[in-house]
Chain A
Amino acid sequence: MHASEPGTGADDIYSMRASLAPNVVFREFPSETVVLNLATGTYHGVNPVGGRILALLEELPSIRALVAQLAAEFDRPSEVIARDLAEFCHALSDRGLIELCATD
């Protein structure tokens, strides 16, 4: 199940809040961000943009807010950011690295 367009549909990821899963840690470096699932011992590498997303995850109240922040930082159209971010978040969620929950 993947995201619909921003602001539409019942399974709207953009209204959800993302947070780092318990027992997941990460550290940003110039060339990549390294993510470690402490429970499984599995490492993941994401590019600097992915690292920036992880750093912002728990600062912002929703994925929609994250889209707006990234669109401003990277000066890219919101629609492009939204699609890429939804895909990225689903990938992280599928790997057990983040948790997505409905906002109130």
Chain B
Amino acid sequence: MRTPPTVRQAFGLRVAAAPAIPAAPAPAGSRRPLVRIGSGTADARAGEPEETVWTTVIDQQPVEVRRAPDGALAIVFGRQGTFHVSADASSIHAAARAGADPARWQRFLLDTVLWCTALQHGQVALHAAAVAGPGGAVGIAAGTGGGKTSLAAELVRRGAALLADDILVLTSERVLLAHPAPHVMNLDVRAPAALRRALGRPLATLDGECWLEVARGATAPTPLRAVFLLERTPGGSAAAIRTVDRPLIELTTHAVTLPGLPIAHARRRFEIVADIVATVPIWRLTAGAALPPARLADALEDALAQAAPVA
């Protein structure tokens, strides 16, 4: 007998899969779009013309995202296999190749495929980590390798709940809300063992990173309280907090997109980023590359303590 799918929430979506996607909370309601994940080995879309819209390397695997004329996506993950996202983004077909590494496959689904699917649904996202505390969600935007995971890990160690490690989906209806991603983090294996134990349980070690499930994760969309643009410099012995001169344009540089999305998505992205700028404080947190995450966390918490609460 087939196991019925279990619904979890991730990136502003409800995700139905059997078995359930790991490390993701139950949905807070039923209003979010539903995506069903199925699996198999057949390539259901063989022969359809597709345009390559994005190439990158993830987990040392070449990644290629192709878009069909009807908008469907084929996300090729190296030699591991391909995820097919339907044109209406209501389903993901996971076609693993024989011999695919289960841990890599699962991490790619949680860390990449799901947010691509969220964008297909019109969600707006920042390349940012985020944690939830008593005053709301705090976003930490930075490029890859910019230190947002380390800072988020320190804040979680101090008692915050993880909202997102790398991609933060935001909606702006009556309130600006930050939506939970799967409660997973990728920490350098050189991170202190005590920190890794304090955060949660390891799922796998892949390419010098410890992929772990964080025990303290946010379970519901959380009102946004502040955004920090994290900037690391070669030198410097202190963390500094400064205001941002042109926050809308700067914050937009951290927005995540995929080529081929309709122009309505760009409009929605502009509106949500503008709402963020109009509603919550945006600060630049600058720190030397060698400064430990604890010092950055101190500066961040001081800035939040001095700021007026968001109405």
Map CB proximity to B onto A13-27 as digits: 1 under 8 Å, 0 otherwise.
000000000010101
B274 touches A38 (CB 8 A): no
Return B98 CB to nearest CB of chain A, in Å. Answer: 42
- For the complex, give the distance between the alpha carbons of A25 and B252 in Å: 14
In the complex, the answer to whether A27 meets B246 with C-beta atoms within 8 Å is no
By the criterion CB–CB under 8 Å, are B263 and A23 in contact? yes
Pair A43/B266 contact, Cβ less than 8 Å = no
Complex: A33 Cα to B271 Cα, angstroms: 13
A43 with B278: CB separation less than 8 A: no
Contact residues, B252-288 vs A (CB, 8 A): 252, 263, 266-267, 270-271, 274, 277-278
Contact B270 A38, beta carbon cutoff 8 Å: yes
Q: Indicate if A74 sits at the interface (CB-CB under 8 A).
A: no
Could you tell me if A39 and B263 are in contact, using CB atoms closer than 8 angstroms? yes
Q: Among residues 7 to 66 in chain A, which have CB atoms less than 8 Å away from a CB atom of chain B? A: 23, 25, 27, 29, 32, 34, 36, 38-39, 41, 43, 45
B265, closest chain A residue (CB): A38
Contact yes or no, B263 A27, CB < 8 A: no
**Residue pair A25, B248 in contact (C-beta under 8 Å):** no
B246 interface neighbour in A36, A39, A45, Cβ under 8 Å: A45
B192-230: CB near A (< 8 Å → 1, else 0) gives: 000000000000000000000000000000000000000
A67 to B300, CA, bound (A): 48
B53 interface residue (CB < 8 Å to A): no
Q: Which residues of A contact B249 (CB under 8 A)?
A: 34, 43
The reply to whether A27 and B248 contact each other, CB–CB distance below 8 Å, is yes
Nearest B-chain residue to A34, judged by Cβ? B248
CB <8 Å contact, B278 and A25: no
List chain B positions with a Cβ less than 8 A from chain A. Answer: 246, 248-249, 252, 263, 266-267, 270-271, 274, 277-278
Residue numbers of A with Cβ under 8 A of B are 23, 25, 27, 29, 32, 34, 36, 38-39, 41, 43, 45
